[in-house]
Structure 1
Amino acid sequence: MSGKQRFAGVELGGTKCIALLVEGNAILDQVSVPTTSPRETLPGVNQHLTRWQAEGGFAALGIASFGPLQLNPARPDFGRMLSTPKYGWSGADVAGTLTEGLTCPWNIDTDVNGAALAEYLWGAGAGCDSLCYITIGTGIGGGLLLHGRPIHGAMHPEIGHIRTRRMPGDTFGGICPFHGDCIEGLISGPALAARFGAPAETVPDTHPTWPDVAADIAELAGTILLTTSAQRILFGGSVSAYRPFLLPMVRTRLVEQLSSYLPFLNAASAEDIIRLPALGTEAGPRGAIALARGALGA
């Protein structure tokens, strides 16, 4: 991130919200607040943004938020949260509250589109024309870039609610309140806790259910390859980061399923296609800054 302009970014996650002020590559200030209710979280973050504006200002603000979001500027609910499983957040005026009193340009997108953009610019997506970023955490989010631009249309990608083929004998019903056994209902953090009967971080790597989880992730990766032809799929979030045995299992199963049909897919190419993000936990905050830069065309 070169240049000496100041930018502000907000990464609104399901459990915490990070706001940062940067100048070039330097972080001048950063705050983290719990994501509780919209009435508590959003005005609290706005106070920090307002202070930064008064203390020297910033050229633009980027907002990378969990979703689903209304991202069509022509809609009256632009910048608001749509129907979400997170209690109390449906209809929350995310952009309106965060930008209240600010005079700079701003940009809003999903947190995963922001993370995908950060990885494309500065991380594991460098050199790719198309990229998908998946985070496995409290929920399942998917960001998709084409020619370096986040995909929008009728809405934004809702990859976490795709239904995938199940492993024979896997009878777990899923926990998504909307779709039951969509991929979020199967492999998100709360879903894994329900599936294992214990928090996932306490479950040993040798547990016999992990291959079913890897199979579900492989089905998701295959669906993405078949529908988007993404050159790279990055799996972020706590599950991917702290269970390093999962992605090799995913690659193996993906090649077994699709290499006879997809000419570009083999054991070697799968290593390059299915990867961890390079930026780690910085992808989200950097994504917010990338969105801020985009508000200026930078």
Structure 2
Amino acid sequence: MLVGAIEAGGTKFVCAIGDKENQVIERVSFPTTTPEETLAHVFAFFDKYEVEAIGIGSFGPIEVNEASGKYGYILSTPKLAWKNFDFIGAMKARYHVPMGWTTDVNAAALGESIFGAAKGLTNMLYLTVGTGVGGGAIVDGRILEGIGHPEMGHLLVKPHEHDHYAGFCPYHGNCLEGMAAGPSIDGRLGVAGKDVDPDNAVWDYIAYYLGQAIVAYTVILRPERIVLGGGVMKVPGLLNKVKRSFETLLGDYVPVPASDSYLVLPGLEDDAGITGALILANQQL
């Protein structure tokens, strides 16, 4: 039995074929361009196999409410060619199999909860900090969704007293994404984060904003563990700064595990999303 998986990111797509044990048999990746060009690559890959289900974790916002007439659509996105695109409709027109559909960060959360840094836990949160900020939660072993999916990156944060940056989010300015995602570093300093010294004060600002958000996620969802992924979190020393910020801002208000086991990097590294999409495919069966 074979299943298919898609991690549809804003920068690149990853497609994989896996088995019932969620092991990757073959995978490819290619840039995210227009829907027509990108799906041509998707179809060329999957057409070589007979899959019984497909799991898709997509950049968003997306429509996850099955009662909606736009279920399976990518909604309002800065990638204008994909705005209001019927992703599931295009896939089902080609492949007549069950399909799982969620956000890319929800898929990553699922992967980390089954095979990664939160393996064995039934309540966890995955936060990615990269070109954007997104979060997904697993509650009682299931992906958390309501009338839509969480948009954890758009939590409003209090500016650091020494940070005069207004934020790059066109909707909210100083939300977590606008203040802590990769483009905010270039916006402040004029250089990409990978070229900024780990001792630069900008990382203290980033840690402060992430600490605020993690306090909010903690008191609202009370997860057993929070996994912090994405390119920004690979900066040396940043995780420790985030832990200190979180501990200071929480102020021992509620009991949480020791920060070294509560705030961790991904166990699956960059494979959390595609692994979660495979799990989602197998769950359809």
TM-score (norm 1): 0.91
CA distance in 1, matches of 2:29, 2:259: 36
Q: Does 1:273 align with 2:262?
A: yes
Q: 1:85-124 counterparts in 2 under 5 A?
A: 85-124=78-117
Match among 260, 263, 266 for residue 255 of structure 2: 263
Q: Does 1:73 align with 2:62?
A: no
Aligned residue for 2:81, secondary structure, equals coil
| Correspondence for 1:293 | 282
CA distance in 2, matches of 1:65, 1:210: 29
Structure 2 regions of 5+ residues with no counterpart?
none
Deviation at 1:139, TM superposition (A): 1.1
Deviation at 1:274, TM superposition (A): 0.6
CA distance in 1, matches of 2:210, 2:122: 23
Q: 1:145-184 counterparts in 2 under 5 A?
A: 145-184=138-177
CA distance in 2, matches of 1:294, 1:26: 14
Deviation at 1:51, TM superposition (A): 2.9
8 Å contact 1:64–1:284 — kept in the other structure?
yes
| Correspondence for 1:46 | 43
CA distance in 2, matches of 1:96, 1:217: 36
CA distance in 2, matches of 1:47, 1:198: 38
How many residues in Structure 1 have an aligned counterpart in Structure 2?
284
8 Å contact 1:45–1:98 — kept in the other structure?
no
Deviation at 1:98, TM superposition (A): 2.5
Deviation at 1:117, TM superposition (A): 0.5
Deviation at 1:25, TM superposition (A): 5.6
Aligned residue for 1:88, secondary structure, equals helix
Moved over 4 A (4+): none
8 Å contact 1:85–1:177 — kept in the other structure?
no
8 Å contact 2:159–2:174 — kept in the other structure?
no
Deviation at 1:100, TM superposition (A): 2.3
Aligned residue for 2:150, secondary structure, equals coil
| Correspondence for 1:9 | 5
Deviation at 1:143, TM superposition (A): 0.5
| Correspondence for 1:205 | 198
Q: Which amino acid aligns with 2:266?
A: P
8 Å contact 1:143–1:157 — kept in the other structure?
yes
CA distance in 1, matches of 2:22, 2:280: 15
Q: Which amino acid aligns with 2:15?
A: A
CA distance in 2, matches of 1:102, 1:112: 24
TM-score (norm 2): 0.95
8 Å contact 2:185–2:202 — kept in the other structure?
no
| Correspondence for 2:246 | 254
Q: Which amino acid aligns with 2:284?
A: A
| Correspondence for 1:21 | 17
Q: Which amino acid aligns with 2:87?
A: V
CA distance in 2, matches of 1:46, 1:225: 41
What's the CA shift string for 1:88-123, capped at 9, x where partnerless? 221011112233221221111001111100111111
Q: Which moved more, 1:151-160 or 1:40-49?
A: 40-49
User: What's the C-alpha RMSD, in Å, of the aligned pairs?
Assistant: 1.4
8 Å contact 1:42–1:94 — kept in the other structure?
no
| Correspondence for 2:30 | 33
Q: Does 1:245 align with 2:234?
A: no
Q: Which amino acid aligns with 1:256?
A: T
CA distance in 2, matches of 1:26, 1:140: 28
Percent of counterpart pairs with the same letter? 35
